[in-house]
Each structure stands twice: as C-alpha cells, then as structure tokens.
C-alpha cells in the first residue's frame, strides 16, 4: 500500500551587476554587463604619442637653431665691441699724448716766464735798494759809449 514519490530541485543562480563606477577622468575603456561574451576592444590615441615625439624633435631643433643664432649674435657683438674699444683706446691715447706734449710745452714756457719774472723782480729790488743808482750808472755807461762813438765818427769824417 503505499505509494512512492520522488522530487528533485535544482537551482542555478547567477548574479550579474551592471554597475561600473569610475572616478575622475575616464581616459580608458570601461565595459560592464557582458557575461560570457567575446569582446574585441581597440583603443587608440589617434597618433597623439607619435605627434608628441615629432613635436619634441621639432622643439629641440628649433631650440638648437635659436641657441646657435644667439651664440653667433653674441660673438658678433663681442667682436664689434672689441674693435670699438680698440679704436677708442687708440683715439684717446693719441689725444692724451698730444695733451701731454702741449702741457710739457706750456710748462717749459711757464718756467721761462717765471725766470724772466724773477730777474725783473731782482732788478726792481736792486733798484729800490740803491735808489736807482746802479741803473743810473748802467745808463750813464751806455750814454758814454754812445757819445764816444759819435765823437769817433765825427773825428773820422773831419780827418778825411
């Protein structure tokens, strides 16, 4: 009497979450909710890296060219400055030489003038000391020579 009964229960549960949380800038690829799928993802930078290298090479070339140009300009400026300085030194040297020669000439003339002034002062002091007697005696001597010369001339003419 009795009967038989059988029962079976099989449960498969797959939990899939479809949430994908990305914080900040999403510069890559994010895929969610794709169980048992074959996905081919190709990511590209659209040539950005290659262009960055090209731009870097170009920047280095431009910098090198600018550096060479600046060096040439600086060298030219230094050479021009050296020529100008040399020319100025020659000009001022010549001018200074002429000035020194002129000063030497003036100093010589001044020395002669000073000697003449001292002689005149000495004569004036002598004149003041003796009341002019020495000068008067000198003038009398000249007058005596003159009179003797005139008398000699007159005598010479008379005898002839």
The tokens describing 45, both together, are 């930078």
Q: Do residues 32 and 18 touch, judged by C-beta distance below 8 A?
A: yes
| Cα separation, 134 vs 121, whole angstroms | 15
pTM metric for this prediction: 0.36
Q: For residue 151, what are the CA distances in angstroms to 114, 138, 142, 143, 158?
A: 41, 20, 14, 12, 10
Q: Summarize pLDDT for 59-74 with one digit per residue, the tens.
A: 999 999 999 999 999 9
Provide the 8-state DSSP code for 35: T
Domain ranges across the chain: 48-130
Number of H helices, E strands in the chain: 2, 0
- What does the pLDDT look like over 92-137, one tens digit per residue? 887 888 888 888 888 888 888 888 889 888 878 877 777 767 677 7
């Amino acid at each position: 009497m009795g009967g038989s009964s059988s029962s079976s229960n099989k449960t498969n549960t797959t939990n899939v979450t479809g949430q994908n949380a990305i914080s900040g800038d999403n510069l890559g690829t994010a895929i969610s909710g794709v169980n048992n799928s074959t996905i081919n993802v190709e990511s590209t930078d659209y040539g950005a890296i290659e262009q960055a290298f090209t731009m870097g090479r170009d920047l280095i070339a431009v910098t090198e060219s600018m550096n060479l140009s600046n060096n040439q300009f600086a060298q030219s400026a230094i050479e021009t400055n050296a020529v100008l300085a040399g020319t100025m030194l020659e000009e001022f040297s010549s001018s200074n030489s002429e000035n020194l020669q002129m000063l030497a000439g003036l100093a010589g003339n001044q020395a002669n003038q000073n000697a003449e002034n001292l002689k005149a002062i000495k004569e004036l002091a002598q004149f003041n000391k003796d009341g002019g007697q020495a000068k008067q005696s000198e003038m009398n001597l000249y007058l005596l020579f003159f009179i003797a010369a005139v008398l000699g001339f007159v005598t010479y003419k008379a005898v002839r």
